[in-house]
Amino acid sequence: MVSEVDGKVAMALLSEVEKHVEQILDNQVARPLSFDNDPTEVVERASFCKEMIEQCELAEKKAPADNEVLLRSLILKAQIYGNWQKINSVRGTHKKAYECYENALKLVNDPATEADIRYRFALACRVLVIAGKDKVIENFEKVIQLVGADSELGIECAKELEKEKSRKDGCFIATAVYDSYNAPEVMTLRKFRDEVLLKTNYGRAVVKFYYMVSPPIAKFIFRKELLKKWSKLIMTEPIVRYLRKNKKGFE
């Protein structure tokens, strides 16, 4: 059983983490992965995130049986992992962010708190490579059910839901390989899809088939560093090089 003092100490540790997270990460629940970031900035942010995760885990150890402490820690860790990028790779941080949200939802029993967590989860899923469009929609819809369609948060979620449903899907496999929806190579492939493939019946059929089969493949590749390297070597990089060399405007 956790003593009252231990619980207060754990909460004080988490309050300190929350203060630092607000200062450094602002309101960003997750950060799209990109190789274009300044390496110094990436290293500094990674060091900050590592330190904050360690503080959260210290609070959990101080009050291991306190669900309130664990829930608050999981929400903070989800945001921290969502913003943590190590140079040239996600290294599982997005997966951990996703798992923190899932575990937090298992602990919550208050509709308002669940709605808040699911709203953050939905926003994060837009950039978490391991998540996807279906998960974004699922969480926005659940928030509306919890708080009502006419509430302030419900209206906000309804707006975001419409935007999400109208958003074009991305290049799943390429995004998983390059760890970023906005990687230059992914943007080249997306441009080829939009400006070439989607303009013909055959091309649209190819894109439709790709959207059917690629999400599970992308999630599998995302977890395997060796597969990412081989996928780049034998699939995505040759295609990107060809497009940039032979198709004007795809540089």
CA atoms in the 13 A half-sphere facing the CB of 150 = 0
CATH topology of domain 4-166: 1.25.40
Q: Are the C-beta atoms of residues 31 and 127 closer than 8 Å to each other?
A: yes
Q: Tell me the per-residue pLDDT of 70-111, one tens digit each, with 9 for 90 and over.
A: 999 999 999 999 998 765 444 568 889 999 999 999 999 999
Q: Tell me the per-residue pLDDT of 47-63, one tens digit each, with 9 for 90 and over.
A: 999 999 999 999 999 99
Separation of alpha carbons 52 and 183, rounded Å: 27
pTM value surpassing 0.75: no
φ/ψ (deg, to 5) at 160 = -65, -30
Q: Tell me the per-residue pLDDT of 182-207, one tens digit each, with 9 for 90 and over.
A: 677 878 887 888 788 878 888 878 87
Q: What are the residue boundaries of the structural domains of the chain, listed by start?
A: 4-166, 172-246
Residue type, 201: N
What angle do the packed helices 152-166 and 111-125 form, to 10 degrees?
Answer: 30
